[in-house]
A and B are shown apart, each in its own frame.
Chain A
Amino acid sequence: MIYEATVDGHTVRAEVRAGPGEGRYTVRIDGRPLEVDVRDAGPHTMSVIACGHAQEVFLEPREGGYRVLLRGRVLDVGLVEAARGAGTARGAAGGPARVQAPMPGKLVRVLVRAGQDVGAGQGLVVMEAMKMENEIRAPRAGRVKEAPVQEGQAVETGALLVLLE
């Protein structure tokens, strides 16, 4: 299998081939080969040995990839099968920006209204979650196209708070 793997903004080509031998794989990262020996150690845990280096890895399937935990460090890996991934747009730059609720919570205040110009970092709404008030800020400067929310309203993760154009 060939994947386009994205970690922290870097995309590499990862080719993974099984065998020979149980639990053995060859992974080529942008052509560099790495031989690894892998055993499952539970539903979310693998023991990986690569050239003698042992690593305990915790993995959680997430939308479009995995969250990987390496000795206390967290990395989110996006995986796209290369055949299918070819030509996939990366999200149009300069298009409208959707500001979404990063967590479920209650909207304490809506600080902007449609038609208003906002600067990068300007507060858009104030959400209350887990007893704290959190200000959600504009990711970039722009004009508020829509703010389809009301004060006092409860929102779920991912709910559209403000649409910037």
Chain B
Amino acid sequence: MARKITIDPVTRIEGHLRIDCEVENGLVTNAWSSGQMWRGIEIILKGRDPRDAWAYTQRICGVCTTVHAIASVRAVEDALQLEIPLNAQFIRNMIVGAHGIHDHMVHFYQLCALDWVDIVSATTADARTTAALGQKLSNWKGNSYQEIKAVQDRLKKFIGSGQLGIFASGYWGHPAMRLTPEVNLLAATHYLQALEYQRKINQVVAILGSKTPHIQNLAVGGVTNPINPDSPSNLTIEKLFHIKTLIDEVGDFIKQAMLSDVAAIGAYYADWTGYGAGVLNYLSVPDMPMDSKCTTFALSGGYIPGGDLSKFTPIANQKEAMLYNNIKESIKHSWYNGNWDRSPYEEDTVPNYTGYDYDSKYSWVKAPTFMGKPAQVGPLPHVVAMYLSGHAATKTYVDATLQNVSTLAGTTVGIEALHSTIGRIAARVIRCAVLYDTMNVQWQALVDNIGKGDFDTFNTPVFPRGEQRGTGFHEAPRGTLSHWIVIENGKIKNYQAVVPSTWNAGPRNGEDALGPYEASLVGNPIADAELPLEVLRTVHSFDPCLACAIHLVDGKKTPLSKVKVL
């Protein structure tokens, strides 16, 4: 007899995702993914000035701030066919890269590692053995005995003071936890060090974007950073070299600590390469434009149908009709009026909540499709596409990581292992390393271009009368993001955002095909239906973040203990 389990909410951060699973004989046999909040950015943007849209869209979500800003200015620029000065492209690319690195590090260490790493077990490890293990795995300077012992002491103090409950979830001691105390301690050490490097990479966003968390330097037509190599208030050579130092410090951590951690976790949990594949149609778009007309890109993208790597179709640029003509959203299973599959340009958003019904409507998230089918987006599809298109840095990091896992696990692990829960996590770490390499490319391109005497950063947008349409694509940390804008007489007439978490967390589509979260859960093992850690592992591997797919929430009704009413 199948038993239904409901996890609500699933996300440690940002938003409200409900997952329902049917479990039979220790395996998930069916799954439903439901966004429990309603979204409506278009309602706020209708009638506004298209030049202001980015400042609103970057407020949609706390994790993906800059990505919505970038996609928004690109949508308007596409509608106006506006060229972007080279300096502006490189500065934007560096912001995007730094933000992506920050996001991937936070996900891997702070939001997903605790599904695999037992930090309570880490307190029982032998610190010297841990240091020896760390030094065997990589040359990372933070793997010294002193450093590891200090972290262990801090953990003991923290746990001893009863503060562990502050972690929003945690499955300490669960039977599915399998790392040795020493590996747990090594990962916990890097967990804390990662916070330091997140600060550093975030400084890059702050210097270039004038401010974080919400950057201020964007504009439709470029960026507002005045470039003057000598004036201290502007983007100077000194600031650029400071940025370069920060990038390289973070790069060392990614290459020497993060990549070796994911290889170790992959080796210890090698059976997880057999779970969580789900929807194998992979979509990603090229990003980091290298010219003013957006025709060449530093990172490639493409489409892979059904996991068949031989059928890879590269997508050369973000303006290909093959891209925007093939994206539709279905609302058959979503709480909106009607039952249609439409291009985002043609959509309306009329909410109609009819209660949770497994067989009919059960989510606020729409179901996007590419060529009529659900598609998975995120670092995994992007890394596979870059690998297949011969992107050199990607190839180096993928091959090295698979080699490390193979050595540690004592078996050959090939690229097909990436189609899995653990592969999805590994791809994110690999993409983080690729972004580091790309940051250096962008930095050099910017310095070289300034060296030629080009200080341009902005082209003024002009809004003609009549209607214009544009799409802004961005390969964001969680995957392909697109903003769709219809402008009429200089004002916003329609605005839709098809966000990565919509692609992945969407419900069944118009033909009842399961969405990527849903499909990836079917076949997952469940050791203890009361503590379904395995479901969380697979869902968290997508890095769920639903604040943008949807919004608000009714809080849990736990009364506050110590408050003073003013």
A binds B: no
Chain B residues packing against A (C-beta within 8 Å):
none
